[in-house]
Structure 1
Amino acid sequence: MKKILFFIFLTFNFLFSQVNSPEFYEKQIKILRDLDIESNFISSLVFVQSQQDIKSKHTKTLIDGIQEFSKITPMIRKILADQEVPEEILYLAMVESGLKVNSVSNAKAVGIWQFMRPTAKNLGLRIDAYVDERRDPVKSTYAAVNYLKELKAEFGKWYLAILAYNCGNGKLRQAIKQAGSDDLNILLDSDKRYLSLETRNFLRKILTLAFLANDRDFLIEKSASLVNYTLSNDFIKVDTPSSVSLKDIARILNIDLATFKKYNPHFKHNFTPPGKGYYMYIPLNKVAFFNEHFEVKKLTKVDTTIPMTKIYIVKAGDSLYKIARKHNTTIDSIRELNRIYKNHLSINQKILIPIKEKKNANIKTAQSNSKNYSNLVRN
């Protein structure tokens, strides 16, 4: 009885807040319409019942995404607008990764849009021994948009495209067939379980974050600065020559290497890839400086041979220092190769170790290194 009374109170409180906030209520309805969701979903028991819990658990995700990744959100918003995709898709990325470009899931999905390797390659993203464009926030966003457009074309509604993004189009087709309907309230039925709990919550989380982000009072309560988080981009894409040191590029641009890498997380090593020219991102406030001072002839070509690697399984008592010393390499080399940012290692964790090699052709070295990366991912 207490649970019933509490739920009635919660529902009443939620609906009452909408009555007293007509502007916010209209924003919520617009969000639902943008995603092809019937407006009555806002008061459905399926959604109301879970919203408070989601809000308490994922508010930090929204705040962190706004505050720490302010360089990424305007770029995503612009691409979504240019591609005529609902702006609420931004919150899909927040739910997937918290907008962290280096995010890697347990299933080895990578980047802010959490692409698995096969899906990313099918969408035209380059993944090899030199770069991983799943970590490029711009290219991966275009890939995600194209993928979502394909799903929208297949299922006809944006909320179905979002559900398919999480569970796969095959599972969604099966769920719709079992339910006999693509109505959202039916698909999210917790008793029938046409979709997994993860997928059911996926859309709810996105909606909750979108609602919170459009609640001016909520943002001001957290920090007045959050209201202006949709400021314009602060970086731009420019050409870069092949086989040159990132450190040299950063030096010419008069920025530190760590800052340059934050703008270019898709580079796997401290040099640009060999072959034809590639691209990089630089801060907008460096464009004039770049145009005036950046000359390719000032950059020395470097050896882009990638060290051969082997897979090492962490044992009890191991540390980065011990592993590096044992294999005659450096801690920094292991950190960079495995994108390890903390000192903690887990027993049975698999990491790549650079090993000494004789002079080999770049292509053979790269292929061997890629094979080890693939084995590490599969295992």
Structure 2
Amino acid sequence: MEANSGFTSRNNKRDIDKVRRITCAYTPLPARPQLGAGALGLCLADSESAGIRCRSSGGRRVYRPEVLDVTPVQAMPQPDATVAEEKPDDAPPEDLWARIRGGFGMDMPENSRIDAELAFFSARPGYMERVSDRAEPYLYYIVDEIERRGLPMELALLPIVESAYQPFAYSPGRAAGIWQFIPSTGLHFGLKQTWWYDGRRDIIASTDAALTYLESLYNQFGDWEHALAAYNAGQGTVRSAIRRNGNAGRPTDYWNLPLPRETQGYVPRLLALRALIETPEEYGLTLRPLANEPYLAIIDIDSQIDLALAAELADLTIKEVYRLNPGFNRWATDPDGPHRLVLPLDRADAFTAGLEALPASERVTWRRHQVRSGQTLSHIAREHNTTVTVIQEANGLRDHRIRAGAHLIVPVSRGNAEEYTLSASQRLNRLQATNREGQRHTHTVRNGDTLWDISRRYGVSVGQVTNWNGMAPNDILRPGQDLVIWLPEGQVRTASQANSRAPIPSQQNVQYTVRRGDSLYRIARQFNVSVADLRRWNNLPSQGYLQPGQRLRVMVDVTSQQSDAI
């Protein structure tokens, strides 16, 4: 497929070996303080868009793999002089930033919107350092894919605009991952989204989808400025703005279109980043060199595997495995795939050898569970941190019917839940546990609850509730879901709260003495709390046993407990 600008599109797929080696020089680093997905929220638009001049023409540079395979030229020795090794002119750069500079292909106009973004970045030199650290594990792979498709290298900077290269970024508009796909667009481009896995956060899958989408937008609009605006605001919004200006006899280039404020700042922000990378010294910026050499490997694993086991086989921490595989939501890979892991190149052989020596039955740990009276498949799935579908498939169940006393096999994690530090549940736990100003309350969602109802009941905003709980305003609430609400100290119930169908929970810390026959599940049901809460409040391991006489701390809503429950 040929792009109108002359950028050559090469969509031929490479053969994927058992271990597909990708390039990215990266040393896993400790987590940095994160900026939100809206960290670059300075959208300064202005109406002065006439008389645009080009600082420089980016030209059309297309990297081809064969230029990277070169033989160094040896320098001729000189009398009484130091012998230096010369590099051929077409040798690949050692610094990945230099490689990115060499592939810039968009024009760079003089515009006050770009200048405003440059001023923003120049005043925050530490920002680019943090972004570089976060981008380092993924950047070479993305650069390689952009070159393979013959696209302009400015696109490698787009995840900085979208997410600051944070793979776990989640926006109020429900966009996720470094490329910030919303659910519907992600599904349209083949990004699977399940309880186990979210392809929008998968670096490999989302990069392929994003570049395919951008290439499609370029072919629709014929220039990159319109294409990028459409990536941000949608094709319909950009087409409508073009049509409106055209009908009014006004210019239809990006800089003159009546676009949303965020979109008016979107392309200027990207071009400001391009200017910073192109001549960092001009803006008082020092870019730490990123080695332009292989780091990552994509490994086919054929079936589901516990991520703690994968970390053990690769001699990595679980956090490092999650950072390279942020698409996986839970303690294991998705049983329905994708069956692949991204690991450091220097760990690939050892991991593959260990995996091949491991019996398939030991990739995931299974436990025998006896169904208790009143239990449903949903209860059992929540108790063991899995899904109803997985339990049904493992036990040959055609429907949800089970009987008390029956035995089921269920998959369980090798480690405690807390060990899977970047799983969706642990990320949420850390967010909800963050100390904020005021008094912490837990609201358990009931049938019919909405974010609007809950926020009004507690006298807070929907935005506050979603921020405290890592949600978007349009996320669906589930009965039994726990939401954290922060209220001013000593706040009294207002009339609207008193008249609401559920009062503000009055939480109290109580001590419960374990009796013979008790289980965490039974105690959780008795106090209308979750098993996960009981474990967290009492630092209980996921596979431990309760002892009669053991005392447990329980945070209960005393308005809903019977006086003889404790």
Structure 2 length as normaliser, TM-score?
A: 0.48
Letter in 2 for 1:337: S
Aligned counterpart in structure 2 of residue 260 of structure 1, from 321, 344, 349: 321
Tell me what 2:259 maps to. 195
Aligned length: 302
Q: What's the % identity of the aligned pairs? A: 21
Residues 184, 307 of structure 1: CA spacing in aligned structure 2 closer, same or farther, 3 A cutoff?
A: same
Aligned counterpart in structure 1 of residue 221 of structure 2, from 155, 174, 179: 155
| Paired residue secondary structure (1:131) | coil
Asked if 1 retains the 8 angstrom alpha-carbon contact of 2:307 and 2:333, the reply is yes
In structure 1, what is the Cα distance between the partners aligned to 2:352 and 2:418? 37
Cα RMSD of the aligned pairs, angstroms, is 3.5
Residues 331, 286 of structure 1: CA spacing in aligned structure 2 closer, same or farther, 3 A cutoff?
A: closer
Asked if 2 retains the 8 angstrom alpha-carbon contact of 1:238 and 1:279, the reply is yes
Letter in 1 for 2:154: E
**Structure 1 residue 155: deviation in Å?**
0.7
| Paired residue secondary structure (1:134) | coil
In structure 1, what is the Cα distance between the partners aligned to 2:315 and 2:419? 23
In structure 2, what is the Cα distance between the partners aligned to 1:230 and 1:200? 34
Asked if 2 retains the 8 angstrom alpha-carbon contact of 1:62 and 1:213, the reply is no
| Paired residue secondary structure (2:136) | coil
Tell me what 2:425 maps to. 337
In structure 2, what is the Cα distance between the partners aligned to 1:217 and 1:120? 38
In structure 2, what is the Cα distance between the partners aligned to 1:245 and 1:177? 53
Tell me what 2:196 maps to. 130
| Paired residue secondary structure (1:91) | helix
Tell me what 1:281 maps to. 342
**Structure 1 residue 244: deviation in Å?**
2.6
**Structure 1 residue 94: deviation in Å?**
0.6
Asked if 1 retains the 8 angstrom alpha-carbon contact of 2:161 and 2:266, the reply is yes
Residues 203, 286 of structure 1: CA spacing in aligned structure 2 closer, same or farther, 3 A cutoff?
A: same
Letter in 1 for 2:425: L
Asked if 2 retains the 8 angstrom alpha-carbon contact of 1:61 and 1:98, the reply is no
Residues 58, 125 of structure 1: CA spacing in aligned structure 2 closer, same or farther, 3 A cutoff?
A: farther
Aligned counterpart in structure 1 of residue 331 of structure 2, from 249, 270, 278: 270
| Paired residue secondary structure (1:237) | strand
Letter in 2 for 1:302: T
Asked if 2 retains the 8 angstrom alpha-carbon contact of 1:131 and 1:266, the reply is yes
| Paired residue secondary structure (1:128) | coil
Tell me what 1:166 maps to. 232
Q: Deviations over 1:254-273 (max 9, x none)?
A: 22222112111111111122
Asked if 2 retains the 8 angstrom alpha-carbon contact of 1:125 and 1:143, the reply is yes
| Paired residue secondary structure (1:71) | helix
Bigger radius of gyration, 1 or 2?
A: 2
Tell me what 2:355 maps to. 294
In structure 2, what is the Cα distance between the partners aligned to 1:52 and 1:36? 17
Asked if 2 retains the 8 angstrom alpha-carbon contact of 1:240 and 1:280, the reply is yes
Aligned counterpart in structure 2 of residue 210 of structure 1, from 274, 288, 298: 274
| Paired residue secondary structure (2:216) | helix
In structure 2, what is the Cα distance between the partners aligned to 1:185 and 1:244? 50
**Structure 1 residue 345: deviation in Å?**
6.5
Tell me what 1:364 maps to. none
Structure 1 length as normaliser, TM-score?
A: 0.69
| Paired residue secondary structure (2:365) | coil
Tell me what 1:89 maps to. 155
In structure 1, what is the Cα distance between the partners aligned to 2:285 and 2:119? 18
Tell me what 1:250 maps to. 311
In structure 1, what is the Cα distance between the partners aligned to 2:223 and 2:253? 10
Residues 248, 44 of structure 1: CA spacing in aligned structure 2 closer, same or farther, 3 A cutoff?
A: closer
In structure 2, what is the Cα distance between the partners aligned to 1:333 and 1:283? 19
- 1:27-42 aligned at under 5 Å gives the runs 37=107, 41=109
Tell me what 1:112 maps to. 178
**Structure 1 residue 303: deviation in Å?**
4.4
Residues 331, 270 of structure 1: CA spacing in aligned structure 2 closer, same or farther, 3 A cutoff?
A: closer
In structure 1, what is the Cα distance between the partners aligned to 2:318 and 2:112? 51
Asked if 1 retains the 8 angstrom alpha-carbon contact of 2:114 and 2:269, the reply is no
Residues 59, 95 of structure 1: CA spacing in aligned structure 2 closer, same or farther, 3 A cutoff?
A: farther
Residues 271, 353 of structure 1: CA spacing in aligned structure 2 closer, same or farther, 3 A cutoff?
A: farther
In structure 1, what is the Cα distance between the partners aligned to 2:482 and 2:304? 23
Tell me what 2:79 maps to. none
| Paired residue secondary structure (2:176) | coil
Asked if 2 retains the 8 angstrom alpha-carbon contact of 1:130 and 1:269, the reply is yes
Letter in 2 for 1:344: T
In structure 2, what is the Cα distance between the partners aligned to 1:110 and 1:161? 20
Query: Structure 1 unaligned runs (5+)?
Result: 1-14, 19-24, 188-193, 310-328, 358-379
Structure with the bigger percentage of helix: 1
Tell me what 1:67 maps to. 133
Asked if 1 retains the 8 angstrom alpha-carbon contact of 2:200 and 2:327, the reply is yes
In structure 1, what is the Cα distance between the partners aligned to 2:245 and 2:182? 29
Residues 337, 29 of structure 1: CA spacing in aligned structure 2 closer, same or farther, 3 A cutoff?
A: same
Q: Deviations over 1:138-163 (max 9, x none)?
A: 21011000111111111111111001
Asked if 1 retains the 8 angstrom alpha-carbon contact of 2:162 and 2:180, the reply is yes
Asked if 1 retains the 8 angstrom alpha-carbon contact of 2:122 and 2:285, the reply is no
In structure 1, what is the Cα distance between the partners aligned to 2:207 and 2:139? 11
Q: Deviations over 1:184-216 (max 9, x none)?
A: 3322xxxxxx11221111000000001101115
Q: Deviations over 1:293-312 (max 9, x none)?
A: 33241734334985279xxx
Query: 1:183 and 2:245 equivalent?
Result: no
Asked if 2 retains the 8 angstrom alpha-carbon contact of 1:58 and 1:209, the reply is no
Asked if 1 retains the 8 angstrom alpha-carbon contact of 2:280 and 2:286, the reply is no
Aligned counterpart in structure 2 of residue 77 of structure 1, from 140, 143, 155: 143
In structure 1, what is the Cα distance between the partners aligned to 2:129 and 2:224? 25
